[in-house]
Amino acid sequence: MPQSSPPYRLATLSTGARVVSTELADRPSTTMAILFKVGSRYESEREAGISHFLEHMFFKGSARYGGAKEIAEAIEGVGGVLNAATDKELTMYWARVPRTKTKLAIDVLGDMLFQPLLDNAELEKERLVVLEELRMYQDSPQEYVHSLFEQISWPNHPLGRDVGGTEDSVRALTRDDMLRYLDQHYLLRNLVVTIAGPVTHEEAIGLVEPYLTPRGNGAAPPSFLPSVGNGLKPNVLLKAKKTEQAHLVLGVHAPSYMDRDRYVIDLLNCVLGEGMSSRLFLEVREKLGLAYDVHSYVNKMYDTGVLGIYAGTEPRQAARAVGAIVGQLRRLSEEPVNRAELTKAKEFYKGRLLLQMESTNSVATWYGGQEALMGRIQDIDETVTAIDAVTADEIRRVAGELFSQALQLAVIGPFRSEAPFLKQIA
């Protein structure tokens, strides 16, 4: 049965900035997001964490909105939401407001991003906040184990560094560093503005264009360091810590969002560890009782990706849990997924995608994110068609390619040695 995609329109302005709009006349809200194609993989080792730190600083004051209080009150005062996120390849700032307050959203976002104060006193205060955020993350083993997994997946590479940087790098960053980073990366050619809600395409362009102040004197956007392999041997990165539960992430490199197999890996992931009817949940939790939380996930980047499996388990059962997970990986490589399971995975993926489209926030980021990262947009109908075309043979082929790689494992828990884990993944 054909699906109905919200219609989008795309315009490239004379400055190189792109505007993606999706007119949803019946929605009570408008979401506006400003996306810059920059993130932690663009940073040098000395700059580690600057993308994230700078994201914080945009909320600390602008030319017309003064300080953090004025910025927050402008959006929250109408019941709206204002937030941001920094990732490895993209930084996004967004506001969701009632439909009658669309102009306010671009007014606040535009002033924050193109006329930031970057006040030195505020910078020093926010430095302490960022450091506390890093410490909070490191004190949460179920979160921090993912950073360890990235370290072992991309050793000595920007992709292996935490998006927030390190305490040493954050302490060393200066206002001049941030101004230079703005001029190098926050360029209009690196920018996509995306709007979803009861706004026409012409209205969207009229709202956005006056706020886009050029930066960088026409310089070309910098490039990033290409991805590298993680070696030919299985590896375990263990952080010994007294915890009640062992936390582990096991995985391998996977197709990128530019790869022809990008939907094959998504369906493989659904079969393996998405939801309570997935293989990992049924085997590791329901049958063996080894974990409360066990799931798999896929993260894709321009030239690489990763398939990871997380489990939290009783420390004495951790090595056994790893063995059970490895058994499911081998099974995917050796046996084709049956027709019923493949159909279930496709319906799961398509259903989740279509339910997301109920929110103006998801619609805006779906279309804008593709344009910012890939330079082209695939609508919902095309994606559904691509998902329906994936075969069981393709899933087995990709599984064989993935799991012929050396497995990488990160573990946090009360352990003295990596040996029991290496034995399971060898």
* Residues that are catalytic: 55
**Three-state DSSP state, 306:** strand
Strands (E), 64-123: 66-67, 81-86, 91-98
Residues in the chain: 426
The strands making up 81-86's β-sheet, listed across from edge to edge, are 8-12, 18-23, 191-197, 29-36, 91-98, 81-86
Tally Cβ neighbours within 10 Å of residue 226: 11
CA distance 200 to 185: 29
Which residues have CB under 8 Å from 239's CB, separation 6+?
144, 145, 148, 410, 411, 412
CA distance 409 to 58: 36
- Tell me the two tokens of residue 313: 């388990």
Say if residue 175 is exposed, middle or buried (CB neighbours under 10 Å; 0-12, 13-18, 19+): middle
CA distance 341 to 343: 5
Of 298, 288, 297, 299, the residue nearest 327 (C-alpha): 288
